[in-house]
């Protein structure tokens, strides 16, 4: 049988970022006539894509010995467990995952896809650069689904600040506090009440530690189904991507697709993703690698600047998404590194 499909490992389920990426890639590859399986021993397999890592090293050994190209897609790495106590089990799991990812990168990958320039530089700094061909491919979004609202659904007399994260657990508490601190600075900055919408999984105990400005209301949304995110994005004035050192957050790209401008600190991949059109990025002001609290004043001023010229920022945010983050472009770039000549990629 002629080889005609791509194997993707591991087979992911759920609504998280890697699962969402896998489903979009499978759908996109199918639309250009490329089928997907999850078994490298399938005789039709022509290439293997590892999303992060897999514990099935026997599959990787088989693919390597069979001449099947192995491409590894790398996110960031676990680091918060080294900065604050998150539990013994979490520490061991985080270290194991880092070792698993780095071992796969060094010993098995014929090519590596990094989700951002920040991610690439981080891996090269911590685990060393390799002679392995590599590239950066940003996550993509369906720009028809994630599109601007035809009718304004944003509140008029209140500023709605949106935060969408998968989880605020496992050391991400600082992320949540940064969002609340921004919200607390906005009423005096913009002269209006502020509604902070927080979508994501968080410890209930954190809610009791939060204090707010009298003109700030927090709506704890919990985990929001992915199909409801476009309407949520359209209902807000600004997105604040809370995760420090994010590799390539889907929530940010989806917001840009909906014409929702972003205000953020200059950590991780956020400056390169937002660029000049997606919103405003400001310095963190303190040592974010050690989870110090930021200097929030510049961020609040940036948020006011966006609000004062919201139509222009909404338009430029959508343009940013159209220029860089279409799912069709993402799928084509993965097709190329999986199936085309690797000599065109740097090592």
Phi, psi of 70 (to 5 degrees): -110, 120
Q: Give the pLDDT mean for 172-194.
A: 95
Is 145 contained in some domain? no
Is 74 contained in some domain? yes
Burial 251-264 (b: 16+ CB within 10 A, else e): bbbbbbbbbbbbbb
Taking the C-alpha atoms of residue 284 and residue 170, their distance in angstroms, rounded to an integer, is 21
- Provide CB contacts within 8 A for 121, sequence distance 6+: none
Is 70 contained in some domain? yes
Strand, helix or coil for residue 222: strand
User: Is 130 in the same domain as 164?
Assistant: no
User: Is 185 in the same domain as 54?
Assistant: no
Residue listed under structure tokens 């002269």 = 191
User: Is 109 in the same domain as 197?
Assistant: no
pLDDT at 346 over 80: yes
Sign of the CA dihedral running 108, 76, 198, 327: negative
Residue listed under structure tokens 């609000």 = 307
User: Is 124 in the same domain as 24?
Assistant: yes
Radius of gyration of the CA atoms of the chain, in A: 21
Listed in sequence order, the DSSP H helices in 2-154 are 17-31, 57-65, 88-107, 117-127
User: Is 163 in the same domain as 79?
Assistant: no
pLDDT band at 1 (very low <50, low <70, confident <90, very high): very low
Taking the C-alpha atoms of residue 157 and residue 288, their distance in angstroms, rounded to an integer, is 34
User: Is 124 in the same domain as 223?
Assistant: no
Sign of the CA dihedral running 308, 312, 314, 317: negative
What digits encode the pLDDT tens for the residues 325-340? 999 999 999 999 999 9
Q: How far is CA 142 from CA 60, 166, 208, 318, in A?
A: 31, 19, 38, 12
User: Is 189 in the same domain as 131?
Assistant: no
Is 150 contained in some domain? no
Angle between helical axes of 310-324 and 297-308 (0-180°, round to 10):
100
Listed in sequence order, the DSSP H helices in the chain are 17-31, 57-65, 88-107, 117-127, 173-190, 204-207, 229-234, 250-257, 270-274, 297-308, 310-324, 327-339
181: containing domain? 159-324
pLDDT at 3 over 80: no
Is 252 contained in some domain? yes
User: Is 15 in the same domain as 126?
Assistant: yes
pLDDT at 181 over 90: yes
Containing H/E element for 342?
Answer: none
Strand, helix or coil for residue 262: strand
Listed in sequence order, the DSSP H helices in 150-228 are 173-190, 204-207
What digits encode the pLDDT tens for the residues 79-136? 999 998 889 999 999 999 999 999 999 999 999 999 999 999 999 999 999 999 999 9
User: Is 13 in the same domain as 136?
Assistant: yes
Residue 103 tokens, joined = 């071992």
Taking the C-alpha atoms of residue 305 and residue 321, their distance in angstroms, rounded to an integer, is 21
User: Is 207 in the same domain as 273?
Assistant: yes
Position 58 scores a pLDDT of 94
User: Is 308 in the same domain as 335?
Assistant: no
Mean pLDDT of the chain: 94
User: Is 210 in the same domain as 297?
Assistant: yes
Is 265 contained in some domain? yes
pTM: 0.94
As for how many domains the chain has, the answer is: 2
Is 293 contained in some domain? yes
Is 61 contained in some domain? yes
Q: Residue 145 carries which DSSP code?
A: T
- CATH number of the domain that residue 258 is part of: 3.40.50.2000
Torsion of CA 51, 55, 58, 62, to 10 degrees: 0
């Amino acid at each position: 049988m002629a080889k005609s499909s791509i194997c993707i490992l591991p087979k992911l389920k759920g609504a998280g970022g890697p699962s969402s990426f896998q489903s979009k890639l499978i759908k996109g590859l199918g639309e250009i006539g490329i089928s997907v399986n999850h078994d490298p021993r399938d005789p039709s397999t022509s290439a293997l894509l590892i999303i992060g890592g897999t514990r099935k090293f026997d599959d990787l050994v088989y693919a390597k010995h069979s001449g099947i190209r192995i491409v590894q897609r790398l996110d960031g790495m676990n680091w918060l467990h080294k900065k604050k106590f998150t539990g013994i089990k979490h520490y061991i799991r985080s270290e194991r995952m880092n070792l698993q990812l780095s071992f796969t990168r060094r010993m098995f990958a014929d090519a590596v896809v990094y989700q951002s320039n920040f991610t690439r530089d981080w891996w090269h700094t911590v685990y060393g650069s390799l002679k392995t061909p590599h590239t950066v491919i940003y996550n993509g979004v369906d720009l028809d689904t994630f599109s601007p609202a035809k009718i304004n659904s944003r509140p008029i007399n209140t500023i709605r600040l949106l935060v969408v994260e998968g989880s605020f657990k496992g050391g991400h508490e600082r992320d949540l506090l940064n969002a609340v601190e921004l919200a607390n600075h906005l009423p005096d900055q913009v002269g209006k009440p502020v509604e902070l919408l927080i979508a994501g999984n968080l410890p209930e105990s954190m809610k009791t530690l939060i204090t707010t400005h009298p003109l700030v209301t927090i709506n704890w949304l919990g985990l929001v189904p992915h199909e409801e995110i476009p309407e949520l994005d359209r209902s807000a004035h600004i997105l604040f991507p809370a995760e420090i050192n994010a590799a390539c957050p889907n929530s940010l790209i989806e917001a840009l697709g909906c014409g929702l401008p972003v205000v953020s600190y200059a950590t991780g991949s956020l400056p390169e993703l937002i660029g000049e059109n997606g919103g405003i990025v400001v310095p963190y002001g303190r040592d974010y690698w050690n989870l110090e609290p930021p200097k929030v004043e510049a961020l609040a001023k940036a948020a006011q600047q966006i609000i004062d010229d919201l139509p222009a920022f909404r338009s430029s945010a959508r343009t940013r998404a159209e220029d860089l983050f279409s799912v069709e472009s993402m799928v084509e770039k993965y097709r190329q590194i999986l199936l085309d000549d690797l000599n065109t990629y740097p090592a």
